[in-house]
Amino acid sequence: MSEEQIKYLEKQFEERIARDEKIEPKDWMPEKYRKTHIRQISQHAHSEVVGMLPEGNWITRAPSLRRKVALLAKVQDEAGHGLYLYSACETLGISRDELYEQLHSGKAKYSSIFNYPTITWADMGAIGWLVDGAAIINQVPLCNTSFGPYARAMVRVCKEESFHQRQGYEIMLKLSNGTPEQKDMAQDALNRWWWPSLMMLGPTDAESVHTEQSMKWKLKRKSNDDLRQQFIDQTVPQADILGLSIPDPDLKWNEEKGSYDFGEIDWDEFWQVVKGHGPMNKERMKARVGAWERGEWVRDAAMAYAEKQQERKEKQVV
């Protein structure tokens, strides 16, 4: 294709997106669009799958049968999210094995929030409330993103995430209205998860790369700082209802702005975790890589068996 032809196709492509048309896997797309989408969708898929680990950590110790069932169902949903997102990503011409390889080698990123440890039961509440809450804020705009398979996956995922958020909040509510020990447990979890949840919405706009292009492709519709503000404004009143305090002495309602002012985020901590040196980065990867390696003979067996079955079928036809 000549450069001119490509320019023409790109122009048409951008116009389609501007008209809110969906791009489908078989449509022509600029290489950069494909690569950016592979990166973002796989990063999202990896986050769902790595995200199973911190909560999976409490399945065997859930305090009641009802909570155990709800937690199992939640973690199972996250696995399902991983599955649709990997499938959406595969439509762009990359295999799931390649995507795993990128995760396991450290080439691909996943949400840094999952590199924090879950050390008490209240963390199950805090994660549902704050982490799924922040995820929803990030993801609701993606239900209208330009790439069809991603947009459709997001519609389904967001519905389940809001269910998770309510479930997490309900755990916090129960703890906050419980014994002093339970209330302390809830406050402690909020203290530990608050700042990482704010970081989850991404670096400040000043430091954020790729934003402009992403806005055009509707991979992003609001800036990180706007999303963060939205999250804070939505969450603070919820903490008030719980009777818990947000661990930020600078948090204050700003009448003029009609939103909360808040304290400085520790971006050094954020970058440390992003670069692989958070409290649980190594353990999370060890768990994923370990599961994958331990499972190799199982996957090989399934493949060998399927091939044998196919051969047997073919012989029968002959």
Partner 1 sequence: MKQNLYNYILGIADNSLILGQRMGALTGHGPSLETDIACTNISLDLFGQVRSYYQYAAKVAGDKRTEDDIAMLRHEREYLNVLLVEQPDTDFAYTMGRQFLFDVYHFLFLTELQKSKDLTLSAIATKSLKEVSYHQRFSTDWIKRLGDGTEESNKRMQTAIDDLWTYTDELFHQTDADKEMVAEGIGVDVTTLKEAYYQKVADVLQESTLTIPESKYFQKGGKQGIHTEHMGYLLAELQYMQRAYPNMEW
Which residues of the chain form contacts with Fe ion (CB under 5 A)? 48, 78, 81, 132, 135, 161, 164
Amino acid found at 2: S
Q: Which of 121, 260, 262, 270 binds partner 1 (CB under 8 A)?
A: 121
Sign of CA dihedral 195, 196, 197, 200: positive
Work out what residue 82 binds among partner 1, Fe ion, none; the CB cut-off runs from 5 to 8 Å by kind.
Answer: partner 1
Q: Which of 6, 155, 241, 291 binds partner 1 (CB under 8 A)?
A: 291
CA distance to 126, 204, 243, per residue, from 262 (Å): 20, 14, 19
Task: Provide the Cα torsion 95, 86, 113, 133; round to 10°.
Answer: 170
Min. distance of Cβ 217 from partner 1 in angstroms?
A: 27
Report the site for partner 1 in 184-203 (rule: CB under 8 A): none
Report the site for partner 1 in 40-99 (rule: CB under 8 A): 49, 52-53, 56, 59-69, 72-73, 75-76, 79-80, 82-83, 86
Min. distance of Cβ 181 from partner 1 in angstroms?
A: 6
Work out what residue 63 binds among Fe ion, partner 1, none; the CB cut-off runs from 5 to 8 Å by kind.
Answer: partner 1
Q: Which two tokens stand for residue 270?
A: 């954020």
Min. distance of Cβ 48 from Fe ion in angstroms?
A: 5
Min. distance of Cβ 66 from partner 1 in angstroms?
A: 7
Q: Which of 215, 305, 310, 311 binds partner 1 (CB under 8 A)?
A: 305
Instruction: Establish if 265 lies at the interface with partner 1 (CB under 8 A).
Output: no
Q: Which two tokens stand for residue 68?
A: 């155990």
Nearer of residues 83 and 143 to partner 1, judged by Cβ = 83
Min. distance of Cβ 161 from Fe ion in angstroms?
A: 5
Work out what residue 132 binds among partner 1, Fe ion, none; the CB cut-off runs from 5 to 8 Å by kind.
Answer: Fe ion
Task: Provide the Cα torsion 56, 59, 60, 65; round to 10°.
Answer: -170
Min. distance of Cβ 13 from partner 1 in angstroms?
A: 32
Instruction: Establish if 280 lies at the interface with partner 1 (CB under 8 A).
Output: no
Q: How far apart are CA 285 and CA 283, in angstroms?
A: 5
Work out what residue 56 binds among Fe ion, partner 1, none; the CB cut-off runs from 5 to 8 Å by kind.
Answer: partner 1
Q: Which two tokens stand for residue 46?
A: 């990896």
Footprint of partner 1 (CB under 8 A): 49, 52-53, 56, 59-69, 72-73, 75-76, 79-80, 82-83, 86, 121, 171, 174-175, 178-179, 181-182, 287, 290-292, 294-306, 308
